[in-house]
Structure 1
Amino acid sequence: MEWTFERLSRSLWQPSLVGSYFADRGLCGVSGNSGLLRFHDSDSGLIAQRFVDGAFGGRGVRADVFAFDWRARQFAISTCFDADGNYTGGGQPGMIVALDPFDMVTEPWGLTIDKFESALTLSAVQDQLNPELFQSWRDSHQVEPLTLTTCAGVGMPGFYGGILEVENLELNNIEVYLSFIEQLWTRAVEQQPGEPAPKLNL
């Protein structure tokens, strides 16, 4: 897969664990392949950071976001995982971690921040981004290139049994969507085993 990038914003996002790495490289506010992957600017970064702090912080994950994909899966730097991906709670060198609002899975990559761009050329990483599903969803719903404020949100998240398919994806405002997922996740973890999922209407 070839990458093409365009700038959507010139504002910078430099959280403490990320620092100026992507700002210095001129990547803040940049979108790749019509929104398949986007680097945070100051506005989108604040929205995503609030979600990560609220939804993952309670599970002991401290992470600073720097990019996100078309489904609002967040890419961040965390000191909570070692190079083998084991959770340690903190004190480790900063490593890349992916945080997925679909199923609330935390995926440590075991790579430092300077390896992120080269990782985008790996077939395993590209498969995770799922460009084919992204294009099918855009074609089906006639979606224009995503901005820094939009994403493909699921109507039924994975932690309630939803699956990633075109029929379960719709164009959403990313702030509204992440707030919805965080509130739904808070409810889900409080439910007793066997209780049915609520009727969802986003």
Structure 2
Amino acid sequence: MLEIFGKRFDVTDGIPGSPESVGNNVAYLFGRYGGCTFNGGLYRVHSTESFRKASTMVTEAYPEFGFPLIPFGFDWLGRQFVLDLRSGDVDPEILLLEPGTGEALEIPRKFSTYHDDELVRDPEPSLCVSFFNEWKSENPADLAFDQCVGYKVPLFLGGEDYVHNLEVSDVEVYWSLMGELRLATMNLAPGTRISGIEIGE
């Protein structure tokens, strides 16, 4: 696990480790690449600290799942990759939680093969690589580990899926804001007009 991924994705921040565990589990991923940024911010593997924060963020924003969400990585758009524990499988598939759309997408790939297969063979669906490259052409600086590129107006509130609707944000701040907006609007009928928004402190 991670051998092919490590050859195709460049660590641009952080220091790879030598994990004590072996195999195909999250502990091995964190031991090998926890806290590392790849390709200038395209993808990151959670550190122990960011994992704890992300666990709280995604649970609060997506309470409908009703089971612990285990985030292991996140991309440049702040989207969180989490283990889908609904099947009870020891090698679960992946959920992609998107704060900008308010959606949870199923990725039909096992965690054990996700990095070496899906992200290497066809990273576009998971990481929106072409959109990242378009944004990077106008914003060449690498993203810090705690930053993402978020939507100024989220797509679930009618925002446009274009570069001009993106801005660099703190991941926690962005998730807090998008999570509150998602919960406040998720039960509204499509097309409902929203006259004003208040964000709690």
Q: Secondary structure at the match of 2:120?
A: coil
Instruction: Give yes or no for the alignment of 1:64 onto 2:63.
Output: no
For 1:77, the equivalent position in structure 2 comes to 83
Q: Write the mapping of 1:10-89 to structure 2, written as runs, cut at 5 A.
A: 19-24=26-31, 26-60=32-66, 62-80=68-86, 82=87
Q: Of residues 148, 152, 171 in structure 2, which corresponds to 1:151? A: 148
Map Cα deviations across residues 154-192 of structure 1 (whole Å, 9 max, x no partner).
011121122321011001011111100011111112545
Instruction: Give yes or no for the alignment of 1:117 onto 2:123.
Output: no
For 1:15, the equivalent position in structure 2 comes to none
Q: Secondary structure at the match of 1:153?
A: strand
C-alpha displacement of 1:198: 5.1
Structure 2's unaligned 5+ residue stretches are 1-7, 20-24
C-alpha displacement of 1:132: 2.4
State whether residues 147 and 169 of structure 2, in contact with CA within 8 Å, keep that contact through their aligned partners in structure 1. Answer: yes
State whether residues 16 and 34 of structure 2, in contact with CA within 8 Å, keep that contact through their aligned partners in structure 1. Answer: yes
Q: Write the mapping of 1:125-136 to structure 2, written as runs, cut at 5 A.
A: 125-136=123-134
For 1:181, the equivalent position in structure 2 comes to 178
TM-score (normalizing by structure 2): 0.79
State whether residues 93 and 108 of structure 2, in contact with CA within 8 Å, keep that contact through their aligned partners in structure 1. Answer: yes
Identity between Structure 1 and Structure 2 (%): 24
CA distance, structure 1, for counterparts of residue 71 and residue 113 of structure 2: 15
C-alpha displacement of 1:110: 2.6
Structure 1's unaligned 5+ residue stretches are 13-17, 83-90
Aligned residues: 185
C-alpha displacement of 1:69: 0.4
Instruction: Give yes or no for the alignment of 1:108 onto 2:115.
Output: no
Structure showing the higher helix proportion among its residues:
2
C-alpha RMSD over aligned residues: 2.8
